[in-house]
Structure 1
Amino acid sequence: MEHDPSEPNPRVDFGRRLRQLRADRGWTLAEVADRSGLAISTISKAERGVISLTYDRLAQLAKGLEVDLAAFFNAEGQCFEPGSFAVARKGEFKRQETQNYVYEMLFPDMWNKAMTPMMGSLKAREFVDFEDFVRHPGQEFLVVLEGAVTVFAEGRVPVRLTAGDSIYFDSAIGHLYASDGDRDARILVVCAPAPGAPAGPGVEGP
């Protein structure tokens, strides 16, 4: 899926926001790399809009920068409070596109959520399209909305899901999703921290 040059480039916007968050803290690329566990080159490429980051790397970067993951997509937002009630209409999301996935980050202006809900499309057709498994602390839920998806989990037999099927698992297990058909698959994914773990660093609104 090619980016329309007439539209804002989400990768460039993300990189600009990432660079600003780092500058606000007065940290070098090396310091952020040390805090997040990501390579300096990875962070530098993300800042320059050369690459997009998968969810596990976004989570690492958010932890290293001590920000809520949603802060990468919105400079302003409100923290989730008891009694909060928010509605996302169709098309209201922040886009994050990688080689194999198109993430649609829902409620990007609501920070400190206990869950990270994402709609998305799977572009990959073969397992070999991926360099490595994705893994991150917590729990994960996926439901297939359209098409078919194969879930690869480290040390387990691949599972094929079709529209209406779902899966729930420990996301610390290495895992990958791939479209299993002749068209892109549509999915809804919800990630949450492990029980008893904080949802993420608190971020105050401006």
Structure 2
Amino acid sequence: MDDDEVLDAVGSRLRGFRQALGLNLAELANRSGISISTISRLERGLVRPGLEQLLPLARVYGLPLDELVAAPRVGDPRVHLKAVRKHGLTFIPLGVRAGGLQAFKVIYKPISKSRPPHYNTHPGREWLYVLDGSVNLVLADQRTLLKTGEAAEFDTMTPHWIANARDDQPAEIIAIYGHQGERIHLTDL
């Protein structure tokens, strides 16, 4: 698809996103700061959008610009995973998006049962899914054993600690951190 074809298809994409959110033209105009008539002309393909229209629409729709206009993908889409090790854990980023939610595969080495909990607190929420093995999730004084295929979500202002539940095999989880959680967990890796 060449640039003209991409630009010609933008209007119908914009209409589709608006309709998918259940917004009428007036509601979208109110949220985006773009006039109703301009939005209508954009959606009908009578004018080609510029950044001054696309940026506010992307914010309202919660989409990156390239997805909003169906820009052709360029370059290698693979994420080049680079493991980082800290405190006996291995963090592997599963995406390259800066800011917002970040997903990581986290590997917990087998540990001694006598290791005392090291509690963390920070603003935000954390979500985790156990890929393999089992982990102990301790929230304040409540201990939960999570096994392969189980997930948990919690407010990270609650004192929390996660550790491998076994001393004979590693445990692997997928963890999703918000911006605050990423800072707490990974700044000095």
Partner of 1:49: none
Distance change (3 Å), C-alpha of 1:148 and 1:115: same
Q: Compute the TM-score of the two structures, normalised by the length of structure 2.
A: 0.50
SS at match of 1:111: coil
Go from structure 1 to structure 2 and tell me whether the alpha carbon gap of 1:171 and 1:81 turns closer, same or farther (over 3 Å shift): same
Shift of 1:87: 5.2
- 1:101 and 2:86 correspond: no
* Letter matched to residue 122 of structure 2: H
**Is the partner of 1:158 in helix, strand or coil?**
strand
How far does the alpha carbon of each residue in 1:34-65 deviate from its partner, in whole angstroms, 9 at most, with x for none?
xxxxxxxxxxxxxxxxxxxxxxxxxxxxxxxx
Structure 1: distance between partners of 2:114 and 2:165: 13
What is residue 155 of structure 2 aligned with on the other side? 170
Query: How far is the alpha carbon of 1:173 from its aligned partner?
Result: 1.6
The Cα shift of 1:103 comes to 0.6
CA distance in 2, matches of 1:191, 1:127: 27
Please state how far the C-alpha of 1:81 moved relative to its aligned partner: 2.7
AA aligned to 1:115 is L
Moved over 3 A (4+): 82-89, 126-131
Equivalent runs, 1:42-191 vs 2, <5 Å: 81-84=64-67, 88=78, 92-108=80-96, 110-112=97-99, 114-123=100-109, 125-126=111-112, 129=115, 132-154=118-140, 156-181=141-166, 182-191=168-177
Q: Give the CA RMSD over aligned residues.
A: 2.9
List alignment gaps of at least 5 residues for structure 2: 1-62, 68-72, 184-189
Bigger-Rg structure (1/2): 2
> Which amino acid in the other structure matches residue 167 of structure 1?
A
Instruction: Note the C-alpha offset of 1:124.
Output: 5.1
Q: CA deviation at 1:106?
A: 2.4
The one-letter code matched in structure 2 to 1:111 is A
- Cα separation, 2, equivalents of 1:177 and 1:161: 10
Structure with more helix by fraction: 2
Q: How many percent of aligned residue pairs carry the same amino acid?
A: 19
